[in-house]
Amino acid sequence: MPIAYSQGFTPHPKISYASAAPTGVGSEAEYLEIGLQAPVDPEQLRAALDAALSPGLDVLEAVIAGEGSLADRIDASRWQLELPGVDPGDAEKAVTAFLDSAEVLVERMTKQGRRTFDARAAVTRCALAGEPDLPSGAVGVRCAIIDLVVRQVTPAVRPDDVLSGLRVVAGLEPPVPPRVTRLAQGTLTAQGEIVDPLDADRGDVGIGGR
């Protein structure tokens, strides 16, 4: 692909990731922008990138980037938190205590050292996801599953911060590491829905010039 490069002594590919997922979590909704030197058919670009990546890293779609940056279209993420070995009733009590709290202070180690911040304000939804189900890849192990929507704020509030908050307010401690998956990211509407950041760009026929 005719990828574009930056200027200067150390040119690098013009690739911009928007709100990349934290290390150690799964994701079904990652987005990036790629600058190209010439127009390319979106499907050809998608197929070429998909073929070059390792199994499990799938490029699902490519569109022409419209006005504004990709980052301007992403202000929230939806996550699924699977908690193997956690009783759904205990998880629901912890979620209620978390949502009823005006502030939930948690700590996280950052590059600048240990930092304390509020994990509650950025959360717009935190609820048990329907009936308890089996965790992904597990057999015979019941678990609580939490549906979580978090706004992008500074400092960023990650799913593990919310889990720390559940421990702070209710002592909820999963016996094994939780499985966390990002299901969507985009613009959060007043109705609580997340709009796909590519929606505005679908329907064009070629990629190039950005």
Is domain 74-188 classified as CATH 3.40.720?
no
What is the predicted pLDDT for the residue at 208? 43
Q: Are 32 and 59 in contact (CB under 8 A)?
A: no
C-alpha to C-alpha distance for 90 and 4, rounded to whole angstroms: 52
What is the predicted pLDDT for the residue at 205? 40
What is the predicted pLDDT for the residue at 18? 82
What is the predicted pLDDT for the residue at 19? 84
CA angle 75–168–97, rounded 5-degree value: 75
What is the predicted pLDDT for the residue at 136? 56
What is the predicted pLDDT for the residue at 139? 54
- Torsion sign across C-alpha atoms 51, 52, 57, 61: negative
C-alpha to C-alpha distance for 119 and 157, rounded to whole angstroms: 6
pTM of the model: 0.86
What is the predicted pLDDT for the residue at 17? 86
What is the predicted pLDDT for the residue at 34? 92
Residue ranges for the chain with pLDDT beneath 50: 132, 204-210
